Amino acid sequence: MEMKAKNLILEEPYVRAANSRQVDMDRRIVISIYIVIALFCAFLIRLWDLQIIKGESYRKLAESNRLRVVESPAPRGIIYDRNNTPLVRNVQSFDISFVREDLPKDRQSLAALGRLIGLEPEDIMERIKRGGPGSFE
């Protein structure tokens, strides 16, 4: 019996150390879970902020990014030869290019486009339906 008592006395510090290690491991797991939950919540909050709160401004920014405004340079004048015969004249020329799927379908937008290029909205729709390159030339 003395042997068993000695073994229990000797084993007790080892058991306490093992329990202490288990408690430390459990604490680390719980802390890790809290960190993962906190990161996930931060991710969800940021996603909500980008989509719900700032989504409209980012959509407008993306829409304005796909349009390109090109300024036309001022006319340079007529170039004459030595006999004062015009060789070259500057005549303004404009090209319109678009992606059919992105073209607005409402009448007001087509009317505004028509005012810019000198066509009626019906003519614009007819040329779009006819399609092909050069349909607005």
Count how many domains the chain has: 2
- At residue 112, the pLDDT reads 86
The whole domain housing 23 covers: 2-64
Answer yes or no: is 136 within a domain: no
Rg of the Cα trace of the chain? 38
Q: Which amino acid is at 120?
A: E
Last residue of a domain, one of 37, 64, 91: 64
Q: Which residues of the chain have pLDDT under 50?
A: 1-2, 134-137
Do 92 and 54 lie in one domain? The reply is no
Give the Cβ contact number of residue 9 at 10 Å.
9
Q: Clarify whether residues 42 and 88 are in a common domain.
A: no
Of the three residues 44, 64, 84, the one that is the final residue of a domain is: 64
Q: What is the pTM of this model?
A: 0.39
pLDDT value for 100: 72
DSSP3 helix / strand / coil % (the chain, rounded to 5): 65, 5, 35
- As a whole number of angstroms, the distance between CA 135 and CA 127 comes to 6
Same domain, 29 and 80: no
Whether 57 and 79 share a structural domain: no
> At which residue do the structure tokens 């019906």 appear?
122
